[in-house]
Structure 1
């Protein structure tokens, strides 16, 4: 049980400690979320730990009024339960006055929070929730609030946000000016290595990244799902990190980890997905059975994790670039598959029921890979009846025409700055 006095102490302490700074990097999602404020649905911000969800909340506070706030990830609230929400609401009104907007950080730590949230919504309040685990969108939550919420996935900084962090302004002429272009390439090279975790970019402390990783592993996975085979989980994470941007099967991982069946592997990967640490990509097929039975590809949420000692991440620049492009597509809320037939293509983007884009990623096109990369893209374009395709590189630019097909070769930094289209 959490007494009213403890609740009062927590609410007032958190209110007084709120540091709403105007100089923080304006997140790209901010305007999209603000546009959604007139909608009655609950807003849910979800994403990996330390990617900037709380800062985004503060930016929303900065652009709105009449709100109250509580972060449930506070050790003083460890015994808080759903029966105490009414008392909490009384304390929030004491501290903030009557509020029309409720900001709740990490509310999924409280079982059956959905009932309270729905009551607030029925009273006409605007609700914004954050969580670092996809279990925030539990089956129970979805059942109680069917169609009454909108999810925004938050990721570490994009390259465009990284440039804002560095106070670098870019316009389209910079792509054609040698000095500016070289500077952009150097900055992108730094981003490809450093990643986009805001706090890490400020202090460059690799121990900080290790702490983030360990919190994800222990708080979001081992504790949440009562994992008993910690060594197996850590071995799996290391294998997936080593093979980021590569194909895998549950059975192949099962054999390597020395497990009796693939169920544990499948469950653990789903937990890693719920924590937003890794993402699976399916092979594109019109047959659902073939899609589910084919090898999958695995991607990591941010390239910064390759700096953690004890984890064996690939030093392969091509795979790192492919991983980065995948996350940029996820950031754009795209439905993504890979293509594999006679040849292979890294990404297919699906909108509705139609594949609209075919994208190949190659750090550098040269005589050793040019034919393979182009043939893979052309194969996908022919199969899916696409007139245009894209090859994303580190720095190369080119226009390729093969019969009636047009392929644009573009540097990754430019593709991202232009809107990843």
Structure 2
């Protein structure tokens, strides 16, 4: 095993990111604090590149190992000590460890905790949210900081296309037209680096298949491929619509709603889909209420044959949801029975934002409905400001001592 590990380390050391890499956001404070840094996110969102960028900013960078290697089929937690010994043989004693896709090894947290206890700095990436499960979190309590990485933000998308200058002076008609055009591209192309490099739908299809088969079905020993594929297809085709486990069970033809709940949990663990709950201060009611489902990236939604009504509006709502996740905070939807607001964001026990998404405010009925929804959330949670995100419309609506900001999505993304 030690010779195999040595061969893999040497092979992987020759890996270099492509010349065109975008510097991902990563706080300087995480580089030299004591905690284990766990970077999780969907496959191919850029975790490995970020890990390389972190290595480049630190004085010791040789203890790197990628566990997503077919030669490691027999690697177990007992082999970590051998890996450590090989590192020392090759490079001498060092204090920084970089482990890519470590979730493939059952029990990895024990080795990470041992390194932490001995004063080593550990950076870890993984493609499964189960890495941060309750059990693991309990074992590593106080020892780690979790960071979720997503496909490119709009700013990173512009950086990739060498159009970052568009976020400069946007006062003129031409400048606003250019940034609106770039946003329209981002809305449909999404932010997966691997897709943006080629714009080849086969790349997306391969990524989707790998997530579905390797990360969902094989990992969770699911034998009914049809049920899982139909569940993903239906939920993505109904982005942002209230769904219940019972209704989904009927759609995909399973008798037990618990099966659907389990399937969705497995899928969410891969970061492919996310479920959104209605904000209710009764935990039981929150669990009982319908969920809304959103997808990790608009390219997967728009390029893989999913079809739904009001495509631009659904894509915009999906994009806003992912951006809210990127910014942090607990996200819910609001429904009082008489009005609904797409997103409310809570920090601790207090709701801080109410956000409505509407691609076009093109009729008086639509305008009235969208304003009423955000007003209802503002009144419920005692907010003085609310936001309606549109494609191009910009306006401020005042009522009483409160203000609703209506603004184009590209401008909101730049805030």
TM bucket (normalised to shorter chain) is over 0.9
Asked if residue 389 in structure 1 is aligned to residue 386 in structure 2, the reply is yes
After superposition, the Cα gap between the structure-2 partners of 1:187 and 1:122, relative to the gap in structure 1 and judged at 3 Å, is same
1:41–1:149: 8 Å Cα contact kept in structure 2? yes
Asked if residue 411 in structure 1 is aligned to residue 408 in structure 2, the reply is yes
Pairing 1:107-186 to 2, within 5 Å after superposition = 107-170=102-165, 174-186=169-181
- What SS class does the counterpart of residue 336 from structure 1 fall into? strand
Which residue of the other structure, out of 66, 80, 91, is the alignment partner of 1:71?
Answer: 66
Asked if residue 24 in structure 1 is aligned to residue 17 in structure 2, the reply is no
2:396–2:406: 8 Å Cα contact kept in structure 1? yes
Matched residue, 2:222:
227
2:227–2:253: 8 Å Cα contact kept in structure 1? no
2:394–2:408: 8 Å Cα contact kept in structure 1? yes
Unaligned stretches of 5+ residues in structure 1: none
1:248–1:297: 8 Å Cα contact kept in structure 2? yes
Matched residue, 1:5:
3
Asked if residue 48 in structure 1 is aligned to residue 45 in structure 2, the reply is no
Which residue of the other structure, out of 346, 349, 353, is the alignment partner of 2:345?
Answer: 349
Q: How many residues align?
A: 412
After superposition, the Cα gap between the structure-2 partners of 1:390 and 1:293, relative to the gap in structure 1 and judged at 3 Å, is same
TM-score by length of 2: 0.96
Please give the per-residue CA displacement for 1:148-197, whole angstroms capped at 9, x wherever unaligned: 11100000000010010011124766332110110000000000010000
- What SS class does the counterpart of residue 176 from structure 1 fall into? coil
TM-score by length of 1: 0.95
Deviation at 1:144, TM superposition (A): 2.2
Deviation at 1:92, TM superposition (A): 1.4
Which residue of the other structure, out of 364, 367, 372, is the alignment partner of 1:370?
Answer: 367
CA-atom RMSD in angstroms: 1.5
- What SS class does the counterpart of residue 248 from structure 1 fall into? coil
- What SS class does the counterpart of residue 186 from structure 2 fall into? helix
- What SS class does the counterpart of residue 145 from structure 2 fall into? strand
Deviation at 1:21, TM superposition (A): 5.8
Deviation at 1:388, TM superposition (A): 0.7
Deviation at 1:142, TM superposition (A): 2.1
Deviation at 1:293, TM superposition (A): 1.1
- What SS class does the counterpart of residue 213 from structure 2 fall into? helix
Distance in 2, Cα, partners of 1:155 & 1:256: 30
Deviation at 1:227, TM superposition (A): 0.5
1:206–1:307: 8 Å Cα contact kept in structure 2? no
Deviation at 1:140, TM superposition (A): 3.9
Deviation at 1:331, TM superposition (A): 0.4
Matched residue, 1:335:
330
1:345–1:376: 8 Å Cα contact kept in structure 2? yes
Deviation at 1:118, TM superposition (A): 1.1
Moved over 3 A (4+): 20-23, 170-173, 307-315
Matched residue, 1:90:
85
Distance in 1, Cα, partners of 2:171 & 2:83: 57
Distance in 2, Cα, partners of 1:172 & 1:13: 41
1:394–1:411: 8 Å Cα contact kept in structure 2? yes
Matched residue, 2:202:
207
1:244–1:314: 8 Å Cα contact kept in structure 2? no
